[in-house]
Amino acid sequence: MASYVVNTKEQREKMLAEAGIDEQSFYASIPQDVKLQRPLNLPKGKSELEVLRHMKHLASLNTVYDVVLRGAGSESHFIPAVVRQLSAREEFVTAYTPYQAELSQGILQSIFEYQSSICAITGMDACNASVYDGASAVAEAVNMTGDRKRTVALLPKSIHPETLETVKTYTQWLPITVKEVEIKDGKVDVESLKSLLTQETACLVLQQPNYFGILEDVEGLAKLAHEAGAKVIVSANPMTLGVLKTPREQGADIAVGEAQPLGLPMSFGGPYLGYMATTTDMVRRLPGRIVGQTKDLDGKRAFVLTLQAREQHIRREKASSSICSNQAHCALTAGMYLAAMGPQGLKDVATHCTSKAHYLFNQLSTLGFKLRYDSSFFHEFVTDGPLSSHKVEDVLSSHGILSGLPLDETGILWCVTETSTKNDLDRVVSILKEVLA
């Protein structure tokens, strides 16, 4: 069995003798009735070789697809080797939160650079050091906007259903009411929004592109919300921001989102990365860690955790959130990914995604698949077609291809990224053609 205890039995006895302490006394305060009177009923410890064998067996029971055409909150993107290798440096991996600034400049600077890059792609002024994921980022953002008078959060049915659920979960006992905005043709229904906007509206949440992959008219909708005095939260896929207008340009007061596409593997859903960025005047409402630039005693540039008066260890029940541990290593990785791609690389990934998604749709349309919503899409789109969605899933799965996500009997939500080649997409079409023949 593996053990990471270093001291030998002899050393332990020596320690007890040297310090003049008695091992039994350590546990004297635990009542007899509470002490476990038997060994834990767990398998005996195993050697590294055996553990690896077991874990490899479990991993082998999962299907790893060659081609992934499914998104809906988790995307298959190319991760440069340099990002994987460098982010695995043990000094990054095995460090705690950088409480001791002098010893942690590397971690602090990596987060500061991440914050800077997120601000650059979103157009916002300030960013925190991350929250758990994109869905909880939206929930935390909603919590930033409420006050005594404004207590209603408007969430359209075009945002990711798990995001909507998470926001409802987070706010269920808080003085915030979630109201759902109806959708029309896969996008926010402007009339529905207008009828819901009041002096009580705290915020409007928009997802860009939305759950169905469609580009919302964020600018127009944000204008309506602002006219009603509400804040606008835009949950933007960061992979689109090398090309599309920034959330700021579209009217966002808070930009948030799931940054898994920036260098993190799909990992069956986590660890992921919730990014949160906002304007200067709202920065003190941000939850969680924030790294700031300051000076040391000699006047040298230095980095430190800052604006901590917002946080739980100072404010306790009055804190902006209870978040303490975040996803710092994921943020470091995303910052590294953005630097590895650069502005041109980020734009190229976005362009590849869009172009390939449109190519796949065009090919599918030759088989009779139609767009469910006739709107501009980025790299995800919903089709209805001549085959049931589960039939499509099964057939493609047997060829090592993960199809788009079945939404209902015929609806499929496809996602195409730079990782699929024209050849892969042509294969999809020829496999489905054969089934239809």
Partner 1 sequence: MSKLIFELSSVGRRCSELPPLDVELIEFDEALTRQSTPSIPEVAEVDLVRHYMELSRQAFGVDNGFYPLGSCTMKYNPKINEETSSLAGFAQIHPLQPESTVNGALQSMDELSSALCEVTGMDAFTLQPSAGAHGEFTGLLLIHAYHQHRNDLKRTKVLVPDSAHGTNPASAAMAGYSVISVPSNDKGGVDVDALKSALSDEVAALMLTNPNTLGLFDPNILEISRLVHEAGGLVYYDGANLNAIMGIARPGDMGFDVVHLNLHKTFSTPHGGGGPGSGPVGVKSCLIPFLPKGTLHPTEKKLTVSSEFPIGRMRSFYGNFLTNIRALTYILSLGGEGLKEASENAVLNANYMMAKLSDLYPVAYVGPCMHEFVVSCQKLKDETGITAKDVSKALLDYGIHPPTMYFPNIVHEALMIEPTETESKETLDRAIDVLREIHALAYSNPQVLLDAPKTMPIKRVDDVLAARHPILKYTPEGAQ
Residues 236, 275: Cα–Cα separation, whole Å: 10
Min. distance of Cβ 327 from partner 1 in angstroms? 5
- Chain Cα centroid distance, residue 326: 12
Nearer to partner 1 among residue 4 and residue 437 (C-beta): 4
Please give the size of the binding site for partner 1, defined by CB under 8 A.
199
Q: Which of 327, 288, 305, 325 shows the shortest CA–CA distance to 102?
A: 305
**Among 147, 149, 313, 398, which residue sits at the site for partner 1 (rule: CB under 8 A)?**
313
Quick check: 17 binds partner 1 (CB under 8 A)?
A: no
Quick check: 427 binds partner 1 (CB under 8 A)?
A: no
Taking the CA atoms of residue 158, residue 161, residue 165 and residue 171 in that order, the dihedral angle to the nearest 10 degrees is -20
Residues numbered 375 to 414 that lie near partner 1 (CB under 8 A) are 376, 393, 397, 402, 405
Q: What's the burial of 19, exposed, middle or buried (CB within 10 Å: 0-12/13-18/19+)?
A: exposed
**Among 200, 279, 359, 429, which residue sits at the site for partner 1 (rule: CB under 8 A)?**
359
Nearer to partner 1 among residue 227 and residue 426 (C-beta): 426
Nearer to partner 1 among residue 73 and residue 156 (C-beta): 73
Which of these ranges, 144-152, 284-292, 365-373, 381-389, lies near partner 1 under the rule CB under 8 A?
284-292
Which of these ranges, 151-159, 194-202, 229-237, 421-429, lies near partner 1 under the rule CB under 8 A?
421-429
Residues numbered 259 to 278 that lie near partner 1 (CB under 8 A) are 265-272
Bridge-based pairing state of the strands 152-156 and 254-258: unpaired
Quick check: 239 binds partner 1 (CB under 8 A)?
A: no
Quick check: 436 binds partner 1 (CB under 8 A)?
A: no
Residues numbered 150 to 179 that lie near partner 1 (CB under 8 A) are 160, 162-163, 165-166, 168-170, 172-174
Which of these ranges, 117-125, 188-196, 199-207, 225-233, lies near partner 1 under the rule CB under 8 A?
117-125
Kindly write out the interface string for residues 187-226 of this chain, putting x where it contacts partner 1 by CB under 8 A and - elsewhere: ----------------------------x-----------
* Three-state secondary structure call for residue 304: strand
Nearer to partner 1 among residue 354 and residue 410 (C-beta): 354
**Among 195, 293, 365, 430, which residue sits at the site for partner 1 (rule: CB under 8 A)?**
293
Bridge-based pairing state of the strands 67-68 and 183-184: unpaired
Which of these ranges, 130-138, 198-206, 222-230, 380-388, lies near partner 1 under the rule CB under 8 A?
130-138
Structure tokens given for 136: 């909880």
**Among 51, 184, 408, 433, which residue sits at the site for partner 1 (rule: CB under 8 A)?**
51
254: which strand partners? 233, 278
Q: Which of 234, 176, 168, 165 shows the shortest CA–CA distance to 202?
A: 176
Name residues whose C-beta falls within 8 Å of residue 423's C-beta, 6 or more positions apart in sequence: none
Quick check: 130 binds partner 1 (CB under 8 A)?
A: yes
Which of these ranges, 126-134, 196-204, 229-237, 365-373, lies near partner 1 under the rule CB under 8 A?
126-134
Quick check: 54 binds partner 1 (CB under 8 A)?
A: yes
Q: Give 170-177 contacts, CB < 8 A, sequence gap 24+.
A: 170/136, 170/139, 170/140, 170/142, 170/143, 171/139, 171/142, 171/143, 174/143, 174/146, 175/146, 175/151, 176/142, 176/143, 176/146, 176/151, 176/152, 176/202, 177/151, 177/152, 177/153
**Among 177, 220, 281, 343, which residue sits at the site for partner 1 (rule: CB under 8 A)?**
343
Residues 403, 388: Cα–Cα separation, whole Å: 12
Are 303 and 105 within 8 A, CB to CB?
Answer: yes
Quick check: 19 binds partner 1 (CB under 8 A)?
A: yes
* Three-state secondary structure call for residue 288: coil
Min. distance of Cβ 88 from partner 1 in angstroms? 7
